[in-house]
Structure 1
Amino acid sequence: MLIGCFGGGGDPSDNGGYPPHVGGGGSGGAISAPTPVQIIDALTGKAKCIFEKLKNSSSGFESAIKKFDGEFPVSHLKLTINNSLEANVYGKTYPPENYITEVQISNTALQSLSDLGKATVFAHEIIHAEIYRKMLSAAQRGTLNSETVTEQINLVNSLKDSFPGLYDYYEKRFKSTWNHEMMANHYRTTIADIIQKFDNNRLPRSTYEAVSWVGLGVLDKDKGLTTIAWDNLTSEEKTAINKLISENFYNGPSNCN
């Protein structure tokens, strides 16, 4: 299963879902400041149901959403439906353009997941969007694309000054899957917290921690692409995690139809 798209892009080896590391074009020219509308919600069906439940159940998720909904937001969050995403892709977060970070969710793909699995997709994607929001905050511009080397250098330096941890993954230890590496090391607890509250503590904490690995362990099964954090687990730990994922991410209560 190609879970890399689940959390922010197409093939993890390309830049489809990541800010270009060197160059990459962009809209160029002057960029308008954000308008008063910060969260554009165009969700329907299962995705809409899960999103509303998450907002009402988890202070962590609500806090992440509110970062796009302030009086002077750095960027907008646009939530849309795309039922034509690649096979086995549940959600996709695009790099911001003109201050808008778009998260696309496939209601078609969500059909194969439990409600807990659906909530995990949202938590994962919103963290991708939050990482992009931080990068825009540092760069003080509406896109992360760089038309010149100078623009790219300025972006890197802004991250170094404002978010040294993010800079470490994006520049010093750069890999095409840098944001999944960062999330695997630093955001799994956040995802587990969000989905545990969403699920009303129905299951042991260890289950939510296991499910949080979806999209942050095996990124591309066919290519054998994994994160370093996943590689550092023992084979016994991986087996136990995969069992809990199979039992709960794909199976279990599904009331959002």
Structure 2
Amino acid sequence: MNNPTPETLMNQSLDKIFNDLETLSQRIKACDSSRVAHCTSEEILALVRIIRGMTPEQWQQLGGEERFPEWFAVPMGHDNSSSLQHIQDQLDRLAFQKNHDPLTQLPNRHVFDVTLQRELERAYRFKHPVSLCIIDLDDFKKINDTYGHPCGDHVLRKVADILTRVLRQTDIPSRIGGEEFAIILPGTGLVRSQRLLSRLQVDFRALRIPCSDDEAPVRITCSMGLATSRGRERILPDKLYAAADQALYKAKKQGKDTIETAPLMDLAPVRQDTLVLQEEKHFLFAKK
């Protein structure tokens, strides 16, 4: 009797898996909390099953076609180091997916919130500035309505590419909403932030994005709201965000394609009891 081919083994394994899944699905639906404790628990459980005759690459292709993104494939060959590396690669991929926007590959809103709080605490601790810019693409709805959402997605990816290319390694760009992006600028005061954002605006205006053979390339502009903390007071993330958002609203109201800045919120006045008046200086340093 001939040994089964890898393709035969794979098909047999897949048939068994689908049968098991069907049985498991029925059992879960019929789960009786009186017989099975914590049947509706929010805990997460991973089930592992061996598939013979399939490589990780083949499973990745199949999983993508059949939309099984939550299945975690682990090679079971003789090379343990290869198996461990494969597991690590998958963990890295899952961690990236959790923390990044799937369309632009930029950090998502969750990462933005955590990072902003961390950088504000660091700024206060070391008494150095930190700036926050919120960017909103002007008339983005018109692009979607005119050229379709695939074109809109292409525009968002191009914007993300510019942010990744132009910004410094210390800057943290994020996609925080539909056509809204945010940039955290650690160690950067108001003037330097304005210069950097001006360079970004030049690159955005220069974009020519082809979306249709019958139409001219899409051009974009953006409005920006900038808020800066000098690190002299402990500033809550919501306060800095609200200041940048208000500046963005002002930029939109001023006609779009502009950069507006919020007033410095920790510009504490100098204590009068530390000032020495000119008359006192003259008295103190006058020769006797």
Q: Give the shorter-chain TM-score range.
A: under 0.3
- Give the TM-score, by structure 2 length: 0.25
Could you say which structure has the larger radius of gyration?
2
Higher relative contact order (CA 8 A, sep 6+): 1
- Give the TM-score, by structure 1 length: 0.27
